[in-house]
Amino acid sequence: MEESATLDRENVESAAPMMPLNSATISGRIEHNVPLSKMTWLRVGGEASCMFHPKDAEDLSAFLQKFPQENPLILGAGSNILVRDGGVAGWVIKIGKGFRTFQASEHHVDVGAGLLDRYVADQCQKLGLSGLEFMTTIPGTIGGGLSMNASCYGTDFADRLVHANVMDPFGKIHILLPQELNYGYRSCGLPLGWIFLGARLMCTPSNPEDIALTMADMHLQREKTQPTMVKTGGSTFANPQQGPAWKYIDQAGFRGKKLGQAMFSEKHCNFLINQGHATAHDLETLAEQAKQAVFDQSGIALQWEIVRWGEIIATGR
């Protein structure tokens, strides 16, 4: 029996690890004036005034107690974030190295939020665990996937989630069930300022060769339909109920359209591409022009899927 069926609020509470609430010293790295363009796939935008790289969950808890945060920005692999040219004034917390645990059982894996989705898919394939193949082509982390409810080929994170380990803004750990996270298409109800630390994801024992074939097919599909090896944030807009966003962007004449070095991909016109030296302003302006054109033409109000951070600065364009 798959595990989500056996879990309820009572037995999850009893499984929650104890995190001592103390004022222990912080051992993770603190940096100032960090260029976010180097840490995001679109390769644009200004600096983060302060960045914290927690060593582990305990360290993150100590940090949050020492520097209470109203709404810290959480960075995973930066594959879904457009940082504006003016940068970010507050703290950015990078969920990386300190959150890369992986533990497998027969019907689930316990994975840290800092692991790359592709790594998790590869490990599961080697172990003959099916269900997470869809992660093989998503370039983000587990934390980013849980936050965006990332999906492809018909499966999303919420489908496979048994429970998530999260930290509240006061540094306390909670274990939340999928129904408590109020998941929807590309949306998650985790309150602002809360941080994913990891998750238990459901799997089913299967043949490693079959899993490898499925994943290879997904990569093939990806190469056929989407630009690869480019500076992009993936889909710029979420698909509206009426159909795929790319169709409306195409109809509005934005396939291959450019502004400076920002461009909508010829291959998949919901993908914005930085051709080399685009500014965040160029990328955002071009996308807003497409959004307006789609609305004028079809009355559909596209919603940004890419998350935008920071301050706009005038560039003169």
Using CB under 6 A as the binding rule, whether residue 143 contacts ligand FAD is answered as yes
Q: Distance (Å, rounded) from C-alpha 24 to C-alpha 42?
A: 37
Q: Minimum distance between the CB of residue 186 and ligand FAD, rounded to whole angstroms?
A: 7
Q: Can you give the chain as a three-state secondary structure string?
A: CCHHHHCCHHHHHHHCCCCCCCCCCCCCEEEEEEEHHHHCCCCCCCEEEEEEECCCHHHHHHHHHHCCCCCCEEECCCCCEEECCCCEEEEEEECCHHHCCEEECCCEEEEECCCEHHHHHHHHHHHCEECCHHHHHCCCEHHHHHHHCCEECCEEHHHHEEEEEEECCCCCEEEECHHHCCCECCECCCCCCCEEEEEEEECEECCHHHHHHHHHHHHHHHHHHCCCCCEEEEECECCCCCCCHHHHHHHCCCCCCEECCEEECCCCCCEEEECCCCCHHHHHHHHHHHHHHHHHHHCCCCCECCEEECCCCCCCC
Q: Minimum distance between the CB of residue 4 and ligand FAD, rounded to whole angstroms?
A: 21
Q: Check if 308 is active-site.
A: no
Q: What is the size of the binding site for ligand FAD (CB under 6 A)? A: 31
Cα 144 to Cα 74, 136, 225: the distances in Å are 9, 14, 23
Residues 297-316 that bind ligand FAD (CB under 6 A): 307
Q: Please choose, out of 101-109, 149-157, 204-212, 247-255, the segment that lies near ligand FAD by the rule CB under 6 A.
A: 149-157
Q: Is there a contact between 172 and 98 (Cβ–Cβ < 8 Å)?
A: no
Q: Please choose, out of 16-24, 68-76, 103-111, 253-261, the segment that lies near ligand FAD by the rule CB under 6 A.
A: 68-76
Tokens coding 95 = 């969920």
Q: Check if 311 is active-site.
A: no
Q: Please choose, out of 29-37, 142-150, 205-213, 277-285, the segment that lies near ligand FAD by the rule CB under 6 A.
A: 142-150
Among 47, 133, 284, 305, the one annotated catalytic: 305
Q: Minimum distance between the CB of residue 184 and ligand FAD, rounded to whole angstroms?
A: 13
Q: Please choose, out of 55-63, 103-111, 132-140, 278-286, the segment that lies near ligand FAD by the rule CB under 6 A.
A: 132-140
* Residue from the set 48, 82, 113, 302 that interacts with ligand FAD by CB under 6 A: 113
Q: Check if 235 is active-site.
A: yes
State the sign of the Cα–Cα–Cα–Cα dihedral 265, 156, 93, 237: positive
Among 118, 186, 222, 308, the one annotated catalytic: 186
Q: Minimum distance between the CB of residue 299 and ligand FAD, rounded to whole angstroms?
A: 26
Q: Distance (Å, rounded) from C-alpha 195 to C-alpha 198?
A: 9
Using CB under 6 A as the binding rule, whether residue 148 contacts ligand FAD is answered as yes
Using CB under 6 A as the binding rule, whether residue 112 contacts ligand FAD is answered as no
Q: Is there a contact between 52 and 28 (Cβ–Cβ < 8 Å)?
A: yes
* Residue from the set 37, 125, 136, 232 that interacts with ligand FAD by CB under 6 A: 232
Q: Please choose, out of 19-27, 131-139, 240-248, 280-288, the segment that lies near ligand FAD by the rule CB under 6 A.
A: 131-139
* Residue from the set 26, 109, 115, 150 that interacts with ligand FAD by CB under 6 A: 150
Residue with smaller CB distance to ligand FAD, 125 or 232? 232
Q: Minimum distance between the CB of residue 205 and ligand FAD, rounded to whole angstroms?
A: 26
Residue with smaller CB distance to ligand FAD, 125 or 234? 234
Among 200, 235, 255, 284, the one annotated catalytic: 235
Residues tagged active-site: 186, 235, 305
Binding residues for ligand FAD, per CB under 6 A? 41, 73-81, 95, 113, 137-141, 143-145, 147-148, 150-152, 195-196, 232-234, 307
